[in-house]
Amino acid sequence: MPPETTSHSTPPSPGPGGDRPAARSDAQRIHIVLNPGSGKQGDPALDDKIHAFAEAHGDRVTIHELASDTGPDDAARKALKAGADIVVAAGGDGTIAGVASALHGAGSGDRGGDGSAADVRLGILPMGTFNYFARGLDIPLDIDAALALLLTGEARPVAVAEVNGKLFLNNASLGIYPAILARRENVYKRWGRSRLAAYWSVLLTLAGFKRARTVEVTIDGKRRRRRTPLIFVAHSAYQLEQFGLDGAEMIRRGNFAVFLAPDVGRWGLLKHAVMLLGRNMTRHRNFELIEGREIEVAGHGTRLVARDGERERMHAPIRFTRCDDALQVILPGGRAAGSTDDGAATSRPQDTPAKTGGPH
């Protein structure tokens, strides 16, 4: 995902006789943060449909198309300053997390015009390779249906999670997974974004793995000492179900599902990766699974942490927390507020395949 943001306002389309339609005074101002580098679900024409949507709705819609010098969170903050009522993330889970982070962290004075930042809703146009967050919320993958939802959907509260104060939506982890993401970015640059490229990067990283680390993990006050190559903190029930993993009900109860991988060496990890793709992982034998709401990984200095496909170094200790009802997200009508699959969704969407790509 390229960092983002050059912004421009799409001019309104001429009405009959060449006149431009008058902007509705009661219309919600929609600002779309568009990531042109997203996976696009294999369809490069998605950007054109978004621009056509903006032109059809005149002054009501502004597009912030991302460039190479800043991130989606910067574009979202710019949209807030411009007085947006709805800030839309058009991209993959990384783009969505960046926009959501800006909305979640906005203060009372961060929004221009009338109202506060707390009144701003998050819209989602899923355009990534995996789209776990959108799928978990029943947001349609069809771009036309997702665009229509921006106008017809209902704002519902959605929980998010944080690691050392930084927001994530699907998962965050320490250990070998951040290394997999680094390798994956290199593979993507050479071969393009695809599930096959993602799987290949996993195998390459595991083949070069050297040794696990001994860590101290405290979950809801209970301390554990483990030698493990991976601590994986899941916040997406949908993602776990896609891989046939336990833990979805833990997330629906408002907690994290914490996976601790055993120290089985590189060949054992390769075997587990193949088992994961084949949905054959077994709790207790292939991983330790613990339910908890407050997680802390002790240590000194900095650790490389992955969150929703992005990597950064954070100062230890590494703390994971949940934030209930932290965002207002535009969702299909009829969804019960306060449900907690992936922070909001409880049902599996009908238009998605039974199996998708690897964790992101």
Q: pLDDT tens for residues 207-220?
A: 666 677 899 999 99
Q: Compute φ and ψ for 34, nearest 5 degrees.
A: -105, 120
Residue 114: the pLDDT is: 65
Work out the pLDDT band at 335, boundaries 50, 70, 90: low
Extended beta strands in the chain, E state: 30-34, 61-65, 86-91, 121-126, 154-163, 166-168, 171-175, 213-219, 222-228, 230-234, 256-260, 288-292, 295-297, 302-307, 310-315, 318-331
Residue 58: the pLDDT is: 86
Mean pLDDT of 49-75: 93
Report the 10 Å Cβ neighbour count for 215.
Answer: 20
* Fold designation for 168-323: Tumour Suppressor Smad4 (2.60.200)
Work out the pLDDT band at 22, boundaries 50, 70, 90: very low
Higher confidence at residue 13 or residue 72? 72
Residues 6+ apart with CB under 8 A from 120: 80, 84, 85, 86, 87, 103, 106, 111, 328
Question: 69, 63 in Cβ contact below 8 A?
Answer: no
To the question of pTM greater than 0.85 for the whole model, the response is no
Work out the pLDDT band at 356, boundaries 50, 70, 90: very low
Domain spans, the chain: 16-159+325-343, 168-323
- Domain 16-159+325-343 superfamily per CATH: Probable inorganic polyphosphate/atp-NAD kinase; domain 1 (3.40.50.10330)
pLDDT reading at 13 higher than 60:
no
The lowest-confidence range among 64-73, 269-278, 344-353 is 344-353
Work out the pLDDT band at 344, boundaries 50, 70, 90: very low
pLDDT reading at 259 higher than 70:
yes
The lowest-confidence range among 54-58, 157-161, 354-358 is 354-358
Residues 6+ apart with CB under 8 A from 321: 161, 162, 293, 294
- Per the prediction, the chain carries an average pLDDT of 80
Indicate if 168-323 has the same CATH topology as 16-159+325-343: no
